[in-house]
Amino acid sequence: MTRHKVMILGTGPAGLTAAIYAARANLQPYVVEGNEPGGQLTLTTEVENFPGFPEGIMGPELMANMRQQAERFGAEFVSGWVTAVDLEKRPFRVTVNEDEVHEADAIIVSTGASAKMLGIEAETDYIGRGVSTCATCDGFFFRNKPIIVVGGGDSAMEEATFLSKFASEVTIVHRRGELRASKVMQDRARNNEKIKWKLNHTPLGVEADGNKVTGLRVRDNHSGEEKVLPVDGIFVAIGHSPNTAFLGGKLDLDTVGYIKTQGNTSLTSMEGVFACGDVMDSHYRQAITAAGSGCKAAMDVEKYLEGSSVHDWSQTVSAGH
- How far lies 198's CA from each of 178, 232, 233, 283, 293, in Å? 11, 17, 16, 27, 38
Which amino acid makes up residue 116?
K
Q: Which residues contact 162 (CB under 8 A, 6 or more apart)?
A: 135, 136, 139
Asked whether 301 and 22 are in contact (CB, 8 A), the reply is yes
Tell me how far apart the alpha carbons of residues 285 and 129 are, in angstroms, rounded to a whole number.
20
Q: Which residues are catalytic?
A: 134, 137-138
In terms of phi and psi (left: phi > 0; alpha: psi -120 to 50; beta: otherwise), the region of 259 is beta
Asked whether 314 and 262 are in contact (CB, 8 A), the reply is yes
Q: Which residues contact 152 (CB under 8 A, 6 or more apart)?
A: 172, 174, 175, 176, 178, 179, 180, 181
